[in-house]
């Protein structure tokens, strides 16, 4: 059976109400999210601070789909066990976070999670090439990581290069940053199948009015599927 490349929408809870994460996670999942994306930042690899393993562990019981944890931290290796204990399903680490990304990916797998590898905007696709048999996802950052609500950087050539290199391997291409119904078709056409979106999912809604989340998720999915012809 070939790998399921239907579009996945992964809301980033960086744009959720920080006083109500449990309800926000349940709301986006009820409204059609495929995965829940958690942006971990250390104030060192990126100029912002967010969640540690203790927060991720508190999110765990609320996530029924897949807890997709994007680590924007350096170093990574000393924290892998803590995020595994916290219940992360996938840990994605940046190739720029240290000299031994291959060892990091192996350590994530050895800890019982699937591994993703992330590339900053200026990092070439080639940086992921020797990891494609070890990861289940390559994350192409379409903003410089650190904050939600930034403008999309067009890296469709990098996405297309990775898509060709991945071939039949069971590896998702995820994009993160500035993804909207306007930019989604461009990345999907180039080969991205997993779309992270913060502002474009949470805008206009709340836990008391979650239907807007549903409309936003559906609009992203429709825009991406329309570009590739891969309807569910
Ligand atoms: C950026 C984060 C993203 C961010 C996306 O460092 O990795 O996940 O929250 O936010 P939007 O969709 O608002 O660009
Ligand atoms: Zn992210």
**In degrees, to the nearest 5, what angle opens at C-alpha 93 toward C-alphas 219 and 184?**
20
Does residue 135 carry a pLDDT above 70? yes
52-102: pLDDT as tens digits: 999 999 999 999 999 999 999 999 999 999 999 999 999 999 999 999 999
For the chain, give the number of residues: 232
Q: How confident is the model at residue 231 (pLDDT cuts 50, 70, 90)?
A: low
Is any ligand 1 atom within 6 A of the Cβ of residue 205? no
CA distance 224 to 228: 7
Mean pLDDT rounded to a whole number for the chain: 97
**Residue 120 domain-assigned?**
yes
Does residue 42 carry a pLDDT above 70? yes
Q: Which domain holds residue 24?
A: 8-228
CATH at 99 = 3.20.20.70
Q: DSSP class of residue 17?
A: -
**Residue 1 domain-assigned?**
no
Residue nearest to atom 9 of ligand 1 (CA): 148
Contacts of 122 (CB under 8 A, 6+ apart): none
Atom of ligand 1 nearest to the CA of 177: 14
Domain count, the chain: 1
Give the 3-state secondary structure of 155-178: CHHHHHHHHHHHCCCCCEEEEECC
**Residue 2 domain-assigned?**
no
Residues annotated catalytic, as ranges: 39, 176
Does residue 229 carry a pLDDT above 80? no
Atom of ligand 1 nearest to the CA of 141: 7
**Residue 112 domain-assigned?**
yes
37 Cα: distance to centroid of ligand 2 (angstroms): 7
Annotated binding site for substrate: 12, 70, 146-149, 176-178, 198-199
Count the Cβ atoms, other than its own, within 10 Å of residue 3.
12
**Residue 3 domain-assigned?**
no
């Amino acid at each position: 059976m070939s790998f399921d490349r239907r579009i996945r929408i992964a809301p980033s809870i960086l744009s959720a109400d920080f006083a109500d994460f449990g309800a926000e996670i349940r709301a986006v999942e009820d409204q059609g999210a495929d995965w829940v994306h958690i942006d971990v930042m250390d104030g060192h690899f990126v100029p912002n601070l967010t969640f540690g393993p203790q927060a991720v562990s508190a999110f765990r019981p609320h996530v029924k789909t897949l807890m997709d944890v994007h680590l924007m931290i350096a170093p990574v290796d000393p924290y892998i066990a803590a995020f595994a204990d916290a219940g992360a399903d996938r840990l994605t680490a940046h190739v720029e976070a240290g000299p031994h990304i291959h060892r990091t990916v192996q350590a994530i797998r050895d800890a019982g999670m699937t591994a993703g590898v992330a590339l900053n905007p200026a990092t070439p696709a080639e940086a992921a090439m020797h990891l494609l048999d070890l990861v289940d996802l390559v994350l192409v950052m379409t903003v410089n990581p650190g904050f939600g609500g930034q403008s999309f950087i067009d890296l469709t050539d990098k996405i297309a290069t990775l898509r060709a290199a991945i071939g039949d391997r069971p590896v998702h291409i995820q994009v993160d940053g500035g993804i909207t119904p306007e930019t989604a078709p461009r990345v999907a056409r180039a080969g991205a199948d997993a779309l992270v979106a913060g502002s474009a999912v949470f805008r206009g809604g709340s836990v008391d009015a979650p239907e807007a989340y549903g409309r936003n998720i559906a609009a992203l999915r429709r825009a991406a599927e329309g570009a590739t012809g891969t309807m569910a």
